[in-house]
Amino acid sequence: MSNFGLYEDRVRNFEWSVAEKELEYTDGNVLNIGWYCSDRICLKGKADKTALFYEGFGGIKKQYSFNDIRLAGNTIGNFLRNIGIKNEDRVCLFLDRIPELYFSFLGVLKIGAIVQPLFSAFGDESLFVRLENAQTKAIITQRKHLSKVRKVLERLPNLEFIVIVDHNKTKKLESRELPFSLQESKPVENFEIYPTRAESPSVLHYTSGTTGQPKGVKHVHYSIISQYLTAKWVLDLQEDDIYWCTADPGWVTGTSYGIIGPWSLGITQCVLDAGFSAQAWYKFIEDYRITMWYSAPTAIRSLMKAGEDIVSDFDLSSLRHLASVGEPLNSEAVIWSQKMFGKLFHDTFWQTETGSIMITNFPGMKVKPGSMGKSFPGITGVVLDAKKYEPITEPGQVGLIAFKPGWPAMMRSYWNNEEKYREKFINGWYLTGDRSSIDSEGYFWFVGRDDDVINTGGHLVSPFEVESALLEHPAVGESAVVAKPDEINMEVVKAFITLKPGFNPGPDLELEIMNFIRKKLSPIAMPQSIEYMEKLPKTRSGKIMRRLLHAKEWGEDIGDISTLEND
């Protein structure tokens, strides 16, 4: 049973104002996420409380108090303001999970600028597309990622500043590059934050779609209302918790629940930036006595694969509550976690566009392994008929997952793409692009995407983006990309390609093409397998029929092929 009472009570008496009251926010006043996650916590008497335990490669360990992160945010914000960054300028964070990533997030928000977090494993082309779309003014990065930035710099006239947090003074700086060292900078004690309001833009996260380039999802400072309350009620974060969110802040989970949620509550959190292994993760939980663990199904399945024996080598008795996000959590993983840890993983469902948890297995609620749970209090979640866009009332029928707009963390637009944004709303509902059924008790059961977006390990990959990159390889004539089943990641990228004359299929070429995509886009977007074809299946009008290739991979009925072109 949760300390916060039954789910039904929360639903019955729900108002978003409960979060506003607890955060002491009054409508119309200044609302700045950077200030709320650091300065406010210090003013509440928690200045000396640990905000962050950090462990990096090579066993590097660091610890920071809430006063430390307040000063770090001030110091970074002051540096950015002094070089000319103004409110609503876009500042990209292209960093590994080092402390500067978390502190820069606060600092950028404190000056009213918009944070644009990007996954540091992105290749130069993925980086370019997102920086160009956002017309980013500054990027904060590390030496190890500098070559990617330099490759695309000449195509980015709006990018005025490249801030390097670990600059080697023996190396020569190039055009637009600036060194910054948090350790060598004088801490800024008093800092005047920019007076952002509820609807001031805060975070710009990029997400992939089926067609076209990635879209920038714009959030506002008022999103903290949703993130604070869901972190408190769903993740069940309590005063003495040691919390671990395994997500990278390049993705929305890593910001909504790896920064804003826990720190707005004044909770101590841990960050491990040292790669994945079952032994390393279990040791991390044991060493820091982690109590609340928010992870992804891919990681959980990888732990399952590592076996049961290794679990007994570690003391994991500190774990109090477990939750999962990013993709469907299969029932076997839920049952396994109960057996291994004596705790069930509580699945949660939400998206970059929603900004906060929407459907959840609420603490204290009966968990049905394999189900996403029920709508969070204050959220109206339904499944819609795909033709009429009306709610389906019959239990068990599959429809489109949709939500009634109006929750605080809902995206406010797609960056410079109002048309795509409007397409997400039909008949008074926000459409997620996912399909589900709802049982007689109101539990959602995920069925799949309603489009061709590939969800690999909880990260969305656009087939269009991979196909476009493949066509830039000199050997590739045509390409089609679909999802392929995978034991750990649920699905991975598979590419079907035709070769240009003069090129012969083979493992060497396959590896070359894979690495080409890995470097250009990211390891996530890299095809895990490539199948060479004489020609791709097309309609008579010349459109590639991806669904036939998808059906082949998943052993599904290929359906109507009357529009398939004849030989």
Domains of the chain: 7-436 (3.40.50.12780), 454-554 (3.30.300.30)
For 97, the token pair is 């999970």
Tell me the pLDDT of the chain (567 aa) as tens digits. 344 457 988 999 899 999 999 999 999 999 999 999 999 999 999 999 999 999 999 889 999 999 999 999 999 999 999 999 999 999 999 999 999 999 999 999 999 999 999 999 999 999 999 999 999 999 999 999 999 999 999 999 999 999 999 998 888 999 999 999 999 999 999 999 999 999 999 999 999 765 568 899 999 999 999 999 999 999 999 999 999 999 999 999 999 999 999 999 999 999 999 888 999 999 999 999 999 999 998 899 889 988 899 999 999 999 999 999 988 788 889 999 999 999 999 999 999 999 999 999 999 899 999 999 999 999 999 999 989 999 999 999 999 999 999 999 999 999 999 999 999 999 999 999 999 999 999 999 988 777 777 888 888 888 878 888 898 899 998 888 999 999 888 899 999 999 988 999 999 999 999 999 999 999 999 999 999 999 888 765 566 777 789 888 888 777 655 445 554
- Where are the extended beta strands (E) located within 171-230? 177-179, 201-207, 215-220
Cβ within 8 Å of residue 209, ≥6 positions away: 215, 420, 451, 453, 462, 464
- Using alpha carbons, select from 39, 8, 12, 10 the residue that is nearest to residue 23: 39
Placement of tokens 């490249």 in the chain:
162
For residue 566, the surrounding DSSP H or E stretch is: none
Per-residue confidence (pLDDT) for residue 1, from 0 to 100: 38
263 with 38: CB under 8 angstroms?
Answer: yes
Per-residue confidence (pLDDT) for residue 3, from 0 to 100: 42
Question: Is the full-model pTM beyond 0.95?
Answer: no
Q: How many CB atoms lie within 10 A of CB 410?
A: 19
Task: Read off the amino acid at residue 456.
Answer: T
Per-residue confidence (pLDDT) for residue 567, from 0 to 100: 44
For residue 545, the surrounding DSSP H or E stretch is: none
Placement of tokens 């996420």 in the chain:
33
Strand duo 90-94 + 114-117: pairing: parallel
Bridge partners, residue 90, by sequence: 114
Per-residue confidence (pLDDT) for residue 176, from 0 to 100: 96
- 297 SS3 class: helix
Task: Read off the amino acid at residue 148.
Answer: K
Separation CA 551–CA 494 (nearest Å) = 13
34 with 106: CB under 8 angstroms?
Answer: yes
Per-residue confidence (pLDDT) for residue 559, from 0 to 100: 62
Separation CA 78–CA 187 (nearest Å) = 10
Separation CA 354–CA 351 (nearest Å) = 5
Q: Residue 98 — φ and ψ, nearest 5°?
A: -95, 160
Per-residue confidence (pLDDT) for residue 316, from 0 to 100: 97
